[in-house]
Amino acid sequence: MNKTLFSTKGKAPSRVIWLTLLGLVVFFAWAKIAILDEVTVGSGKVTPSTRAQVIESLDGGVIDNLYVQQGNIVEKGQTLAQLDINRAQSVYGEAFLRVTTLRASAERLRAELSGEPLRFSEETLKDPNLAARERQLYESRLRNRDETALNLQQSMRLVEQELKMTEPLVARGAASAVEVIRLRRQISEIRGKIDEARNLYAVNPRDIAYIRPGLPVIVKITAHDSSIYGDLNGEVESVSPDTLQDEVRRDQYYYRVYVRTLENGLTNKNGDRFAIVPGMMANVEIKTGQKSVLDYLIKPLNKVNEALRER
């Protein structure tokens, strides 16, 4: 009986040992297979992925309503605050009035420069008082310009008559030669003011390569028949450095060319003289070169030859 009990108690420790060994084998097998990440630990601070957005008004103002508080999460397009609309409307009204006034002034000056009738845009006509003031100023400046030109013409005629009466007196010794010199200088000064009638001419960009200052020009005043009153000779004074956009036909561009005429009036076959005043329209012919008749006849053939080479 005692022997049997001893044998039973000896088997229990061996089973525990085997289970322990099996557990160790399984643990080391798992430890070999299992993968853990290596990390480096440090301290830091949470920051947004973009820079902090500073919300401010372009023109400033007084905040009327504030819809968010510090710490709130906002979404794109969300209203944050509302400014006092009265100040914004006042600033807008001032800017709109300034733009409208400048536009009307530009349209008036453009008409004065080109000599064309004054035409306001639809935006300007929305303010009848502004359009009326600019038109009144336009007409007043035209009247002053015409009156100045006529006064200068009359002054020159009077001085010329005085000169004609003084020259015979100088020849007889009844008047001083200094008086003649004074009258001639006065005529020269008056002629210098009215003798430089300048015509504005729009040139197609494809023709600008042939135009330069100093080229001879023939100016035909449309108000007078050139076959009766003749033409004015002149020369190109200056050419704009870049193209300008047509105000009416927005898809067209041109170069601005200033032409100076050598005379200030036209004379018909009877010897009657007609003054040229600012604002008159003119057709301008700029002499850019010469070609033979054969060159003009061959030019269409060259165009056909170029067309046959196009894709």
- Summarised one tens digit per residue, pLDDT across range 195-216 is 544 455 556 666 666 777 888 8
Structure confidence by residue, pLDDT tens digits, 247-265: 666 677 777 777 777 777 7
Report d(CA 74, CA 180) in Å as an integer: 90
Domain count for the chain: 2
Whole-model pTM?
0.37
Among residues 283, 307, 35, 277, which one has the least CA distance to residue 144?
277
Instruction: For the beta carbon of residue 28, count every other beta carbon within 10 angstroms.
Output: 10
Kindly state the DSSP code that residue 235 receives in the 8-state scheme. E
Report d(CA 243, CA 203) in Å as an integer: 9
User: Based on the domain organization, do 225 and 187 belong to the same domain?
Assistant: no
Considering 165, 194, 223, which residue would you say is the last residue of a domain? 194
Among residues 60, 137, 127, 133, which one has the least CA distance to residue 96?
127
Q: Which domain holds residue 235?
A: 196-300
User: Based on the domain organization, do 277 and 209 belong to the same domain?
Assistant: yes
User: Based on the domain organization, do 257 and 238 belong to the same domain?
Assistant: yes
User: Based on the domain organization, do 245 and 280 belong to the same domain?
Assistant: yes
Q: What is the CA radius of gyration of the chain?
A: 47
Assigned domain for 283 exists = yes
Considering 194, 219, 238, which residue would you say is the last residue of a domain? 194
Considering 144, 172, 194, which residue would you say is the last residue of a domain? 194
Structure confidence by residue, pLDDT tens digits, 37-85: 554 444 444 455 566 677 777 766 778 888 888 778 888 888 888 877 7
